[in-house]
Amino acid sequence: MKSARRTMTAMACSVLAALPVLVVTPRLATAAPTSPPSNVENVCDQNIAPGQHRCFAERRTDIKQPSVSTPHAMTNGFGPADLKAAYVLPPGTTSAVVATVVAYDYPTAEADLAVYRSQYGLPSCTTANGCFVKVNQNGATAPFPPPDDGWAQEAALDLDMISAICPTCKILLVESNDSGDSLFSGVKRATTMGAKFISMSWGGNQSPVDSSYYDVNFFSSLGVAYVAASGDSAYQDRVEYPSASPNVVSVGGTSLVKDQSTPRGWTERVWYSAVTPNGPAGTGSGCSSSSHPKPAWQFNTGCVNRAVNDVSAIGDPQTGVNVYTASGWGVFGGTSASAPIIAAVYALVGAPPSPKDNPATSLYVHPGNFNDITVGSNGGCSPAVLCTAGPGWDGPTGLGTPNGIGGFKNSNGIDPPWTIRTNTSGAIEDFATAGDQQIYHRYMTNGTFAAWSSLGGLPGGVPLKSRQVSWGINYVGNPELYVTGLDGNVYHDFATPGVGSGWSGWGSLSQPPVGAASDVQIGRNYLNNQEMYVVGTDGNVYHKFSTPGQGSGWSEWDTLGGPPGTTTAFGVHVGRNDANNQELYVVAKNGVLYHDFATPGRENGWHGWDPMASVPGVGFRGDVNVGINSLGNQELYFVGTDNQVYHNFATPGQGTGWASFSSLGSPGVAITGTIDLEAFDYRLLSFQDLLVYGADGTVFENDSTPGQGSGWSGWQ
């Protein structure tokens, strides 16, 4: 039954008898969706009546894949290995349940899924072995609703993408009676059956009762990641529901291309087709209606309400994925591909979302764990951030695409990286950020660490952008801590021995003109005052220095520019050269290492950015990290595009003053994130200690051991 109004019918009430009775207002009408390019077709009808939902799967019409009985490489679209490589995803061992909810029946679902998984060597997933379960919206295995070929193709895309990303996951397919409110009944059913990761590749018009009824009754279960596609109609003044809900994770689509000329090996941009029969098409984005207020974890979106998207994945059918349906192999796309991919990435974490906060929160707590998409737009809008990609969050791609699973982990734990320093009493003290938006510390006494305790959160509940706490010593000799907030400001807290908790509390040091996009780094200038560095959202390095006795005690922000002729840099790190002047290091997005050093008395006091030597055929990715070796010289560490860890150390008086780059090997798993490696130096620990963070969430350690073999213990 296809209702013309969104009302709770007798059928829906029988499924949701525990819910309060409510007469629901019809959903708002919106402009008709645009058509895809001439070589792409929507598999579902896009001209829906009020109260109905469209699926977002798109299929290429110009590609005819070989028969399944013929061995073939299927080079037209991407398969599981491609997607795993592009998003640096671990193999996964979890048997978590990932659910997808569709309308109508897909009679050949299990058989078609078997063909896809067999083709790519994935483990069997059947009803018999308990991996695959198909139910109607009542949770029963019969009767199923009437079949629909378009929605069946949508379901095939969902099942295949879940399989590609998390081949050990169990899959729950819930088929609703129609494309109206029954879909929400299906979501409720998936939740009550225990699914913690639920994909929804469909949407409809927003309604004034979305937040008061639908959000409350269908998307409010704690510890469940509801993942919704944002649609394929490019930028719109109104966005699709349920992606507009602050209770779900909204997913946009990108164009993904293999590109070995880049450090990542892939290029990715906003998915957008400017010329179609009825105008432009591409990933959805925009600002929701007033029925969806801005959630606490969204900042700098240019929207007073909830903004779409949070995260993104491949969606462009022109760079699409291989899917097997009852009619054979095809190349598919749409944000219908993006949503199940993201739901399965959440499942790869191996633990359900935290019941303490919205699963989207973890994304914003760990913005460094995404490929930041900075190229492309999906239309024209004001402000431009809602439709144009740029550094940091933007509407079409959200925070970016997965770079491992770190950004999807429960956000209420105290995870590495930790800042290790000696406190004023000479004891080792650790500082760390956590998903509950608090900053924590612990210290060692008699060789044992005390429990973590909180130093509070940022004023006004501002979420943290920093993954790491930075540490310095202020002009009165007390420790001072620094973090960046999602609002782009830099915050600090300093020790005040004998006063209350011993800390002053967090206050703002303002932000660079464009906002801070990286962790803070601290050095000491030629006056021996603290100097602070961050990378701005424009990719330039900004600094300010303490000026005791003048106003706030800090200078204004000033720019040191960025590596010439390159795109946005990663974070900046600080060392001291053999002349005892500050030296800054960044790895640019082109994979090249650059440095700049202070030259007091020369113009602005800095030399300017120069490239350093590199490893032939290997680019660098992520941050450079700086330690001090046993000779008291700087030692630099990087992660290469070949997944090896490289180092180089200063050798004053010899040639360029640096040794050649050499490898410290690989921990054996994919290393990911823009902060891959942390170096702790001899001045603190009497040895160097490297920590590497794997895409599978593990932490590996390598210690310097002078006189033993290579001088390093190896990755453990």
The secondary structure of 226-253, three-state, reads: EEEECCCEEECCCCCECCCCCCCEEEEE
Residue 484 has pLDDT above 70, yes or no: yes
Report DSSP letters for 107-128, one per residue: TTHHHHHHHHHHHTTPPP--TT
Stretch among 311-320, 599-608, 629-638 having the lowest mean pLDDT: 599-608
pLDDT at 428 over 80: no
For residue 455 the two structure tokens come to 């130093």
Q: What was the pLDDT predicted at 99?
A: 98
Looking at the DSSP bridge assignments, the partners of residue 595 are 585, 610
Q: Which of 100, 262, 234 is nearest to 165 (CA)?
A: 100
How far is CA 491 from each of CA 115, 469, 510, 646, rounded to the nearest angstrom? 54, 10, 8, 32
Residue 600, domain member (yes or no): yes
Residues 401 and 545 reside in one and the same domain: no
Q: Tell me: pLDDT of 197 over 70.
A: yes
Cβ count within 10 A of residue 625: 25
Residue 676 makes CB contacts below 8 A (sequence gap 6+) with: 621, 622, 623, 639, 692, 693
What letter does residue 385 receive in the DSSP assignment?
G
Q: From the CA atom positions of the chain, what is the Rg in Å? A: 26
Compute the half-sphere exposure of residue 29: CA atoms within 13 Å on the CB side of its CA: 5
- The total number of residues shown for the chain amounts to 716
Q: Is the pLDDT of residue 416 over 70?
A: no
For residues 95 and 169, the answer to whether their CB atoms sit within 8 Å is: yes
Q: What is the CATH number of the domain that holds 458?
A: 2.120.10.70
Query: Among residues 530, 552, 574, which one ends one of the domains?
Result: 552
Place of tokens 């969050």: 393
CA atoms within 13 A on the CB side of 87: 33
CA distances, 267 to each of 159, 256, 373 (Å): 26, 6, 9
- Between the two ends of the chain, the Cα-to-Cα distance in Å is 59
Rounded CA gap, 474 and 566, in Å? 34
Tokens (6 digits) for 634: 């700087």
Total structural domains within the chain? 3
Q: Are residues 374 and 438 in the same domain?
A: no
pLDDT top residue among 34 and 663 = 663
Task: Check which CATH number belongs to the domain holding 178 and give it.
Answer: 3.40.50.200
Residue 422 lies in a domain: no
Gap between the Cα atoms of 449 and 451, Å rounded: 7
DSSP per-residue letters across 599-628: -TTSTTSB---EE---BTTB-EEEEEEEEE
- Alpha-carbon distance of 625 to 490, in angstroms, equals 21
**Token pair belonging to 626:** 């700086």
Question: Do residues 373 and 501 both lie within one domain?
Answer: no
In this prediction, residue 570 carries a pLDDT of 73
Least Cα distance to 626 among 589, 666, 597, 591 occurs for 597
Q: Indicate the range of 171-175, 407-411, 542-546 predicted with least confidence.
A: 407-411
CA neighbor of 353 nearest in space, from 297, 412, 415, 438: 412
Question: What number of other Cβ atoms are within 10 A of residue 562's Cβ?
Answer: 23
Is residue 420 in some structural domain?
A: no
> Which of 293-297, 621-625, 662-666 has the lowest average pLDDT?
621-625
- The verdict on residue 421 lying in a domain is no
> Whose structure tokens read 């929160």?
361
Q: Which residue has the higher pLDDT, 489 or 670?
A: 489
pLDDT at 392 over 60: yes
Residues 6+ apart with CB under 8 A from 385: 300, 301, 302, 393, 394, 395
* DSSP assigned state of 367: G
Q: How confident is the model at residue 26 (pLDDT cuts 50, 70, 90)?
A: very low
445 and 383 in one domain?
A: no
Residue 548: cis peptide before it, omega within 30 degrees of 0: no
- Which is higher by pLDDT, 687 or 615? 615
DSSP state of 31: P
pLDDT at residue 449 in the model? 76
Q: How far is CA 616 from CA 25, 591, 620, 622, in A?
A: 64, 12, 11, 18
> How many Cα atoms sit within 13 Å of 395 on the Cβ side?
35
Q: Is residue 133, in this structure, part of any structural domain at all?
A: yes
CATH number at residue 596: 2.115.10.20
- Strand (E) or helix (H) holding 454: strand 453-457
Which pLDDT score, from 0 to 100, does residue 653 have? 75
Average pLDDT over every residue of 180-202: 97
With 60 as the cut, is the pLDDT of residue 681 above it? Answer: no
Here the tokens at position 487 are: 């609002």
What is the 3 state secondary structure string of 42-54?
ECCCCCCCCCCCE
Looking at per-residue pLDDT, the higher value among 105 and 291 belongs to: 105
DSSP for 184-238, please give it. Answer: HHHHHHHHHTT-SEEEE-EEB---TTIIIIIHHHHS--TT-EEEEE--SEEE-SS
Among the listed residues 103, 184, 180, the one whose alpha carbon sits nearest the alpha carbon of residue 144: 103
What is the rounded average pLDDT for all residues in the chain? Answer: 84
Co-location of 396 and 451 in the same domain: no
Answer whether residue 172 shows pLDDT above 90: yes
Quick one: 346 and 293 in the same domain? yes
- pLDDT tens-digit series, residues 229-286: 999 999 987 799 999 999 999 999 999 999 988 889 999 999 998 766 656 789 999 9
**Euclidean distance between CA atoms 672 and 694, whole angstroms:** 6
What is the mean predicted confidence (pLDDT) over 563-591? 80
Spacing of C-alpha 304 from chain mean position: 23
Output b/e per residue, 138-152; b: 16+ Cβ within 10 A.
ebeeeebbeebebbb
Q: Hey, what long-range contacts does 492-495 have (CB within 8 A, 24 or more apart)?
A: 493/439, 493/455, 493/456, 495/424
- DSSP 8-state assignment for residue 81: H
Using the predicted structure, report yes or no on whether residue 196 has a pLDDT greater than 90: yes
Span 50-72, pLDDT tens digits: 889 999 999 999 887 655 545 44
At 323, the pLDDT band (50, 70, 90 cuts) reads: very high
Indicate whether 583 and 528 sit together in one domain: no
In a domain, 395, yes or no: yes
CB 73 within 8 A of CB 316: no
Q: Which of 620, 618, 565 is nearest to 592 (CA)?
A: 620
Residue 505's φ and ψ, nearest 5 degrees, are: 100, 160
The whole-number average pLDDT for the span 331-359 is 91
* Domain presence at residue 617: yes
- What's the pLDDT at 2? 33
Residue 419 is assigned to a structural domain of this protein? no
Looking at 520, 552, 584, which one is the last position of a domain? 552
Range of the domain at 577: 562-716
Highest mean pLDDT among 101-105, 264-268, 554-558, 654-658: 101-105
What letter would DSSP give residue 284? E
State the pLDDT at residue 683.
54
Cα separation, 144 vs 141, in Å, equals 7
Residue 514 shares a structural domain with residue 650: no
CA-to-CA distance for 213 and 535, rounded, in angstroms? 43
Q: Are residues 580 and 509 both part of a single domain?
A: no
Boundary of a domain, candidates 408, 443, 458:
408
Collapsed DSSP state (helix, strand, coil) of residue 267: strand
Tokens of 271: 């998915």
What digits encode the pLDDT tens for the residues 439-480?
988 887 776 778 888 899 999 888 888 878 888 888 888 889
- 400 shares its domain with 453: no
Instruction: Clarify whether residues 657 and 567 are in a common domain.
Output: yes
Mean pLDDT value across residues 3-12: 31
Residues 491 and 623 in one domain: no
β-bridge mates for residue 679, sequence order: 690
Q: Give 622 or 129, the one with higher predicted confidence.
A: 129
Output the DSSP codes for 25-39.
PPPPP-PPPPP--TT
User: Taking the mean position of all CA atoms in its chain, how far away is CA 522?
Assistant: 26
Strands 170-176, 132-136: pairing is parallel
Asked if the peptide bond before residue 383 counts as cis, ω within 30 degrees of 0, the response is yes
The CB density around residue 394, as the number of other CB atoms within 10 Å, is: 31
pLDDT at position 485 over 50: yes
Q: Is 346 helix (H, G, I), strand (E, B) or coil?
A: helix
Is 179 strand, coil or helix? coil
